[in-house]
Structure 1
Amino acid sequence: MTFTPTQLAALLDEADHHPWESVQAALARVAGQPHPRIGWLTTHLAATKREYGTLIAAATATPAPPQDAGLSRLMAWEVDAARRLTAAQLEATLTHAGQSMTVAELLRLNARHSAWHAGQIAALAGRARIA
Structure 2
Amino acid sequence: MNPAELARLLDEANHDPWESVSAALARVDGQPHPRIGWLTTHLSATKREAWTRIAAATGAPAPPEDAGLTRLMRWEVGAAGLLPEAALDTTVEHSGRLMSVAALLRLNARHTAWHAGQIAALAGQTRWA
Q: TM-score, structure 2 length as denominator? A: 0.98
Rounded to whole Å, the distance in 1 between the matches of 2:108 and 2:19 is 15
User: Residue in 2 aligned with 1:104?
Assistant: 102
User: Residue in 2 aligned with 1:40?
Assistant: 38
Equivalenced residue count is 129
Residue from 93, 96, 103 that aligns with 1:95 = 93
User: Residue in 1 aligned with 2:121?
Assistant: 123
Rounded to whole Å, the distance in 2 between the matches of 1:17 and 1:55 is 23
* RMSD (CA atoms): 0.8
Rounded to whole Å, the distance in 1 between the matches of 2:65 and 2:83 is 20
- Offset, 1:94: 0.6
Residue from 2, 13, 20 that aligns with 1:22 = 20
Rounded to whole Å, the distance in 1 between the matches of 2:128 and 2:107 is 33
Rounded to whole Å, the distance in 2 between the matches of 1:21 and 1:48 is 20
Unaligned runs of 5+ in 2: none
User: Residue in 1 aligned with 2:67?
Assistant: 69
The runs of at least 4 consecutive aligned structure 1 residues that moved more than 3 Å come to none
- Offset, 1:130: 5.4
Counterpart code for 1:129: R
Residue from 26, 49, 53 that aligns with 1:55 = 53
Counterpart code for 1:62: A
For residues 15-53 of structure 1, give each alpha carbon's deviation from its aligned partner in whole angstroms, at most 9, with x where no partner exists: 000000000000000000000000000000001111011
Rounded to whole Å, the distance in 2 between the matches of 1:10 and 1:106 is 15
Q: TM-score, structure 1 length as denominator? A: 0.96
